[in-house]
A and B are shown apart, each in its own frame.
Chain A
Amino acid sequence: MPRPPFHRILVVDDEDYVRNAIRRSLRKEGYELFFACEPSEGLTVLRENKIDLVISDHLMPNMTGLEFLKIVHDRHPDCMRIMLTGHADMQTAIDAINQGEIYRFLTKPWDDTELKVTIHLAFEQLELMRENRRLMTAVRRQYDLIKSLEREYPGIGKLVRDADGAISLDRDTRPSTPETH
């Protein structure tokens, strides 16, 4: 699948060095990177930019990562969410998955390769979803077209076959065909 250039990633973490490390790890992956040191700043970035993926810490000042990702889910449903935290207790993970509907739950310390692969897979899924949505839209558009044609030319959408199974193109037989109604 062809990857559109510059997928946009937002990293929210209150620790400078963590943001630096992620910046370096992802620098050569061909993404456009955004950073925020706390959730409210992250929400501002989300409003002003079309972000495809959010990677968030959990324990941060003023708001937890879980609360933040829930807001992201509500306001930007088309955005993938990954949690990256050192506070790896079971309850946080369960809540993040059930309430924040996150794509992955990663723990600190993380493996750079795993992080990259996860991001890559997330974008694949995102693209699939977008493709799906795009196809669905096309199908609906075509269906609407057929419906309007049918209204204009009743019976045009119906396929009439004769006794041999061949498609009959005889216009005169059309009104007597029971299938038209």
Chain B
Amino acid sequence: MTAAPVLLVLQGEPPEPLVAGLSEAGVQFRRVSAQEAIRVSTSAHLAVCARVPAWQAVIARVYLGGGAAVIWGPPVAPLESRGLLPPHLEAVEDPAQLIGALRRAKERSLAAGNPQQLSEKLLERVESAERISRFAQSIATRIDLPDTIQEAIRRTRELCDSDGASLLLVDPASGDLFLDTVSGPQSQNMQSFRLRPGQGIAGKVAQQATSCLVLDARQDPDFDPRGDAATGLSIGSIIAVPLLQAGDVLGVLEAVRAARRRPFDPEELRRLEDLAPHVTIAVHNAQTNARLREFQLQLVSANSDLERKVHERTKQIRNATVEWERTFDAIEEPIALQEGFVIRRANIAYAKEVGLLITDVPGQTCHKIMAGLDSPCQGCPLPAGRVGELRGEFTMKSQSRLLLSGFWMSPHSTDNRVVVHYRDVTKQRSLEERLRESERLAALGQLASGAAHEINNPLGFLTSNLQNLNYCLEELRMTSSLATKALELLRADRSLEALKALEEIQYLEGESAANDGLDMINESLEGARRVGDIVRGLRELSRQEIARGEPCCVNASVTRVVRTEFGEQPPNVTLDLQAKIRAEIQPLQMDQVLGHILRNARQAIAGDQKVAVRTWNTDTEVIIQIKDEGCGIPPENLRRIFEPFFTTRGVGKGIGLGLTAAYGIIKRNGGWIDVQSAPGHGTTVTVKLPGAKPQEAAHQRTSAVALPL
């Protein structure tokens, strides 16, 4: 250790352990600023230098003065230890190692030779650093990639005093190295030169990302002689460094020297290594710039493309608008697009329907211009929202009937736009009405003709009998007058004449006439009764009103009618009454229906054949089933059982209106009747009727329990 105190160049106060460590070793020390350290360190000093500003200058100065230094702080990065700094610059953080480090630094400094030599070396390096800085600046100011590369190559040749230089870039897609620009004689031949990763000197450098110095290329197995032949040079020595950009190899910078000259030395490699980061940044910048310009060009072209497309689309949309407008106007039925009740668009037929100009329609409300109302039409489906389908039929201002159907624009309930389409059904409705009318008339005609036949038959023998009665009476009158005459003759004692008169009476057969007359009267009365029955049946048939009243307890009705038709406690009728709800039908009508069906059943059975009546219910219906084991109905008659005046019973025994009336009553009450039958297999009649509201069920149940059967 020299007598001179150790210089401490620190940021702020020296840390306590450091001071303690130095004092313990008995080392003299002095705290100085960076400027002071540069000034005083002309003679060999030892220095401990933290990374204050200009720390590199302080250390360079200390070494120039023949001293040595260690860094106080974290280890020095390899890059930092280049340039002006001496090799093997040590950094310590532990005060315990500081003394040893200082000793080692001093020993190395002494071994490095005299300060004069070191100074020249350092000056040379400073010069080189300045050149590198200048070159870097010159390279960095280029914008174009070829320009930048050209400049980098030119400067590389200048810096390394080489006969040729090249910059190979890595193709990011394949990893191949390729020449973007070559400098040197015959460089044109090298344009298509490509190296795979690991191929040749440059390939190896790129693959391993480390610098390389080849003293004689011709003796190196990695050397690719293609480059040799192409450049026209006889290559001797090569130096190559990777261009590292954030850990990736961007390319390889290479300098070659002809075989006839001396090979490169490590110092020249170091210079190239120093230049490489600057080249990397410049190339990267240029590449980025080029890419950016490319993007810009693409952007401009895309922009104009877009503009053209927008123009085209606008034209298409305008065309489509016209096409659709024309299409809708060509439809002869009114169509409108509405937002709720407010019309947004409409076709010409719509304007014509409401008698407005097409331009006046938008903004109006549909009920105002269509129906002439200030508020929405009654039964309008629009206010109901999206419940059910949009359909309705309305009478318009023009008295025409329009059938409306609407379609929502979108499935979202917040969008209340709706397309409304109207169809004029005035003619159709009036045709339908006329058809219904003529159907009614036809049915009436059929009924009248049937009725006429049924009435004319009894009327026929009625009138005939009345005429014949006339003769009978005449005969009886004559008998009576002859008898009177005979009596008078007898009184006058003219018995011969009286006998003659009495003989005449015998000839008149008064007694048989009287008997005949009685028969005729009885038959006529029967005929008149039948006409009455028919008229009553017709009246029942034509009763159209649906009598709404107390719903009917079908079980009670069945019990009642069975008693009427079959008598008390009938042995051949079984009842199974399970209906728990009432049916929507008047009890009197229910009795009529059951009467007609049960009467048929009674007349169908013979001997010990049975009739079974069941009732039950579903949630909404009451079902009554009457099943007999009787003779059954042949298919050709089954088709006609509901026809008015159709009967299979003998003349005068049934008028054929019973099932017709029952059918009418059931249909009017919203019910359904079905008859299943085959000859010899009995007949099953099923009647379904709508059930009454459930709240009346409790009442029904109690009354059902109270039945006598």
Instruction: Tell me if B455 counts as interface (CB < 8 A to partner A).
Output: yes
Residues in B neighbouring A112, C-beta threshold 8 A: 463-464, 467-468
Residues in A neighbouring B468, C-beta threshold 8 A: 21, 24-25, 112
Residues in B neighbouring A16, C-beta threshold 8 A: 651-652
Interface size on B, residues (CB 8 A): 26
Instruction: Tell me if B527 counts as interface (CB < 8 A to partner A).
Output: yes
Cβ 8 A contact of A15, one of B452, B455, B457, B516: B457
Name the distance in Å between B520's Cβ and chain A's nearest Cβ: 7
CA distance A102 to B117 in the complex (A): 162
Instruction: Tell me if B465 counts as interface (CB < 8 A to partner A).
Output: yes
Residues in A neighbouring B454, C-beta threshold 8 A: 86
- Given contact pairs A14-B651, A15-B651, A110 touches B460 in the complex (Cβ within 8 A): yes
CA distance A107 to B651 in the complex (A): 18
A109:B463 contact, CB within 8 angstroms: yes
Cβ 8 A contact of A111, one of B449, B463, B526: B463
Instruction: Tell me if B334 counts as interface (CB < 8 A to partner A).
Output: no
Instruction: Tell me if B462 counts as interface (CB < 8 A to partner A).
Output: yes
Instruction: Tell me if B519 counts as interface (CB < 8 A to partner A).
Output: yes
Instruction: Tell me if B643 counts as interface (CB < 8 A to partner A).
Output: no
A17:B523 contact, CB within 8 angstroms: yes
Instruction: Tell me if B458 counts as interface (CB < 8 A to partner A).
Output: yes
A108:B651 contact, CB within 8 angstroms: no
Q: Is the interface of B mostly helix, strand, loop or mixed?
A: helix
Name the distance in Å between A146's Cβ and chain B's nearest Cβ: 54
Instruction: Tell me if B456 counts as interface (CB < 8 A to partner A).
Output: yes
Name the distance in Å between A126's Cβ and chain B's nearest Cβ: 24
A17:B461 contact, CB within 8 angstroms: yes
Residues in A neighbouring B460, C-beta threshold 8 A: 18, 21, 84, 86, 108-110
Residues in B neighbouring A87, C-beta threshold 8 A: 449, 452-453, 456
CA distance A16 to B358 in the complex (A): 79
Contact residues of B between 222 and 240, Cβ < 8 Å to A: none
Contact residues of B between 448 and 491, Cβ < 8 Å to A: 449, 452-465, 467-468
Which of B454, B461, B462: most chain A CB closer than 10 A?
B461
- Which B-chain residue is minimally distant from A18 (CB atoms)? B461
Residues in B neighbouring A86, C-beta threshold 8 A: 452-457, 459-460
- Given contact pairs A15-B651, A17-B458, A108-B457, A24 touches B520 in the complex (Cβ within 8 A): yes
Contact residues of A between 68 and 99, Cβ < 8 Å to B: 84-89
Residues in B neighbouring A84, C-beta threshold 8 A: 460
B465:A24 contact, CB within 8 angstroms: yes
CA distance A115 to B464 in the complex (A): 10
B461:A21 contact, CB within 8 angstroms: yes
CA distance A166 to B463 in the complex (A): 70
CA distance A83 to B527 in the complex (A): 21
Further pairs besides A18-B457, A20-B523, A109-B463: 9, Cβ < 8 Å: A21-B523, A24-B520, A59-B453, A86-B456, A108-B457, A109-B462, A110-B460, A111-B463, A112-B463
Question: Which of A's residues lie within 8 Å of B, judged by CB?
Answer: 14-18, 20-22, 24-25, 59, 84-89, 107-113, 115
